[in-house]
């Protein structure tokens, strides 16, 4: 994936880097960026009044990842304040593609430190067979996702 230039975003999540998220050099371990994307996605879904694992009637609906990538530009360390901005890149019938931009807060400006992309599929879990089956994004959620996408701002 090439460097993603920041795009308009519809959701922002802030956090402070914890000591347990760093490596021996005191830099955030790369794997935590994937966790940060997931935590941001969960907070975004909650902001829409939904969860990433929901029961709709007798059906368990979820959003497994089918693709994830992240590029790193600058390190972040213990107690750095970061902002993760989620941008909806594409809403398809059965999947959602989101971009994530990571910024380190500084006294003068926010500095882009990483960018990522995650594609998730809308699925249901068949309780009898345990099979995971791709389904269309439920209409109510699709409407909320489209509204969020249309409201994206810099």
Give every CB contact of residue 10 below 8 A, 6+ residues apart in sequence: 44, 86, 87, 88, 148, 149, 151, 152, 153
Residue 16: which of 42, 31, 36 has the closest Cα? Answer: 36
CA angle 60, 122, 50 (to 5 degrees): 65
Catalytic one of 23, 71, 109, 110: 23
Query: Is 128 one of the catalytic residues?
Result: no
d(CA 85, CA 46): 15
d(CA 150, CA 88): 9
Using a 10 angstrom Cβ sphere, with 0-12 exposed, 13-18 middle and 19 or more buried, the burial of residue 129 is exposed
Active site residues: 23
């Amino acid at each position: 994936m090439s460097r993603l230039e920041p795009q308009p975003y519809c959701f922002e999540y802030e956090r402070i880097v914890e000591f347990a998220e760093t490596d021996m050099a005191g830099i955030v371990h790369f794997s935590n960026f994937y966790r940060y994307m997931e935590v941001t996605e969960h907070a975004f879904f909650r902001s829409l009044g939904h969860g990433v694992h929901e029961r709709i009637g007798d059906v368990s609906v979820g959003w497994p990842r089918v693709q994830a990538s992240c590029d790193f530009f600058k390190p972040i360390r213990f107690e750095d304040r970061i902002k993760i901005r989620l941008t909806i890149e594409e809403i398809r019938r059965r999947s959602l593609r989101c971009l994530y931009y990571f910024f380190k807060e500084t006294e003068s400006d926010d500095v882009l430190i990483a960018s990522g992309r995650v594609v998730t599929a809308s699925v249901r879990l068949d309780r009898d067979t345990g099979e995971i089956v791709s389904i269309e994004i439920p209409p109510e959620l699709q409407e909320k996702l489209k509204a969020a996408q249309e409201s994206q701002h810099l």
